[in-house]
Structure 1
Amino acid sequence: MQKATKQKELLVHDVKTRISEKEFARLSSLIGQTRYRNMSELLRALLAKEPVTVYTKDGSLAVVMEELVLLRRELSAIGNNLNQVTRHLNSLKGQPGKAALLLQADATISQVQRQLEKIYPLISQLALKWLQK
């Protein structure tokens, strides 16, 4: 039975047509935006009136993602600095050096807060755009 079904599905008929350069260019660009690998697959889907899903790339997200990557790196570096200050602070036994390190830690925490203030609007923009219902 499987052999009979497979023979019915074989692509044995060759159908030819002519299209304009403009239409060919449109179909060629459509291939790159769909799951179809070649013009024949795309045309068979269109003739069979199957839904053709077009995948598009949103360029606005690239800018946001670049900014988030840079902010993540900067926050990571600031976090490393804060860890070093904390480690050094814990190793000090006397009080005079601790005051200076506490000021340095406070400055580092302020840096983190400034970076977080940059991140929150970006996250809000992403949430509005990508988490729509």
Structure 2
Amino acid sequence: MQTLKSYTTSIYLGICLALSLLWMYAATAKILEFDQFKIQMSQVSFLKPMADILVWFIPLLEYFLAALLLVSKTRRLALMGSAVLMSVFTVYIGGMISFSPELPCSCGGIINHLTWQQHLIFNLFFTGLAYWGCYRFKHFKINNI
């Protein structure tokens, strides 16, 4: 039984680390390419009224989630936040595929070079990881690591 718990704990910590690295990378890429990120956000008609706020809020939220994932007492909250934020991003990408596939992605970095379909698969994977991490936390009470 101890082996199963160590295996589960390792997977759980791996998920937290992967999500934390994803959030740090995504936020940093947006900050480094801030002007491009702002222009691309303002090109999306329904985001245009909020673009000036979102260009700051999104990277700050991503950094915040990354930090929370690294602290054992806040991991559960961070996993839930990651699952919600990844879900929002995934729905956004699905909408972009359906309604505006010609617009560039505003994600930044290497992710910016993915097609919308590749980005959707990428997001579905990380959304699944976040939800699985929430499930594991709830069912195995992994709150002391």
- TM-score band by shorter chain is 0.3 to 0.5
Bigger radius of gyration: 1
Higher RCO, Cα 8 Å, sep 6+:
2
Between Structure 1 and Structure 2, which shows a larger proportion of helix residues?
A: 2
